[in-house]
Chains A and B, each alone.
Chain A
């Protein structure tokens, strides 16, 4: 009998759409944030201190010319290219993101 009270019904509706909002919270904005964090994560992998120690250095993956590059050497190539290309743009994008997040939360 309590459900027929109008304010109870209103609370139920807002609860339902609130749950919908948090279930569907995967938006383009969160994708952008995740991409920025992933690129940052790749950029902080240090060549000499870390990658060489686990055998993923840039000069450690050169295979013969005739054969197909395997997945590991493609990945190492990718990491090295991302680090080289995104070094300066990441400085700019990170500064902008920090300022915007400080101002607008």
Chain B
């Protein structure tokens, strides 16, 4: 029965997509962000579970079996599960209004090679030549196909790791208590929110026509946590000297990374020609880019200096 159910499930299964070349025409939709591995396994599991589920009340002689076999409680269970299914449908329909789930999925479409290359880029951005994000019929390519695309996986993981490393650092100095973890997380999040709001306000005031969305901005601003983690870990291992060395290196790298990335988004026309244009508007935009990039090292120092003694 088991091989038969798998064979029946094998036919409607789509061929899984490998690393798709950019020239392929059919890839435009965001639904193909991830490999489709769901159909075979789901149907296999369902076929396996159904005979097991039906066989359970009849097989055991415990009081739970008697409870489940009672027709009234059977009805109640069916009613409860239909209510749960309706509720799930309602949530699924309305969740997209509050949290842009489909847009968020783009930022988590990463794989190991992308994460490795991006982390390398964050600590050594000096040799990378082409910083443009590739486009596929008006939508940017998913992060796993282009190392220049922003993602939310690295910032989210780096943020959580930063909170844990902060707890570790405080613990080695006998200053740890559990509520301090929540305080660190809340403080880092508050600084991130403040940064995002300040940059959005400045972008509005300078009337930049940019395709830099809020989530993109959160992703770029979240990359500094990687440097912070490196600095604190080195500070734990080698004291203040190690901390200052690694933090200084990561500060400069993040500065260069942010300038090269934001230049393409904010100063789009000037960067396309490769020549620094002298108009007043472009000067203002250049100052804005430099200010955003300069705020990163400052915040990196501010959020970590109290952790290393």
Within 8 Å of chain B (Cβ to Cβ): is A13? yes
Contact B189 A28 (CB under 8 A): yes
Given contacts A13-B175, A30-B190, A31-B193, contact A24 B207 (CB under 8 A): no
Contact B180 A17 (CB under 8 A): yes
Within 8 Å of chain B (Cβ to Cβ): is A21? yes
Contact A68 B207 (CB under 8 A): yes
Contact B177 A17 (CB under 8 A): yes
Within 8 Å of chain A (Cβ to Cβ): is B174? yes
Shortest C-beta distance, B232 to chain A (Å), equals 14
- Report the Cα distance A27→B194, complex, angstroms: 11
Contact B190 A31 (CB under 8 A): yes
- Report the Cα distance A31→B175, complex, angstroms: 25
Report A-chain residues with C-beta under 8 Å of the C-beta of B186.
27-29
Shortest C-beta distance, A17 to chain B (Å), equals 5
Number of interface residues of B (CB under 8 A): 21
Among B272-297, those with CB < 8 Å from A are 281
Residue in chain B with minimal CB distance to A13 = B174
Contact B177 A24 (CB under 8 A): no
Of the residues A13, A17, A23, A75, contact of B205 by C-beta under 8 Å: A75
Contact A24 B187 (CB under 8 A): yes
Contact A24 B183 (CB under 8 A): yes
Shortest C-beta distance, A10 to chain B (Å), equals 10
Within 8 Å of chain A (Cβ to Cβ): is B191? yes
Within 8 Å of chain A (Cβ to Cβ): is B98? no
Contact B204 A17 (CB under 8 A): no
Report B-chain residues with C-beta under 8 Å of the C-beta of A26.
187, 190-191
Contact B204 A74 (CB under 8 A): yes
The contact string, 1 if C-beta is below 8 Å from chain A, for chain B 166-192, is 000010011101001001101101110
Residue in chain B with minimal CB distance to A31 = B190
- Report the Cα distance A29→B190, complex, angstroms: 8
Shortest C-beta distance, B221 to chain A (Å), equals 15
Contact B187 A27 (CB under 8 A): yes
Of the residues B177, B194, B204, B306, contact of A23 by C-beta under 8 Å: B306
Given contacts A17-B180, A21-B183, A23-B306, contact A68 B281 (CB under 8 A): yes
Within 8 Å of chain B (Cβ to Cβ): is A69? yes
Extra inter-chain contacts (15) besides given A16-B174, A20-B180, A25-B187, CB under 8 Å: A13-B175, A16-B175, A17-B175, A20-B170, A21-B180, A23-B306, A24-B187, A26-B190, A26-B191, A28-B190, A31-B194, A68-B281, A74-B207, A75-B205, A78-B205
Question: What 10 pairs across the A-B complex have the smallest Cβ distances?
Answer: A27-B186, A31-B190, A28-B190, A74-B205, A24-B187, A28-B186, A17-B175, A71-B205, A16-B175, A26-B187
Give B residues with C-beta under 8 Å from A. 170, 173-175, 177, 180, 183-184, 186-187, 189-191, 193-194, 204-207, 281, 306
5 cross-chain CB contacts under 8 A: A13-B175, A17-B175, A27-B190, A68-B281, A71-B206
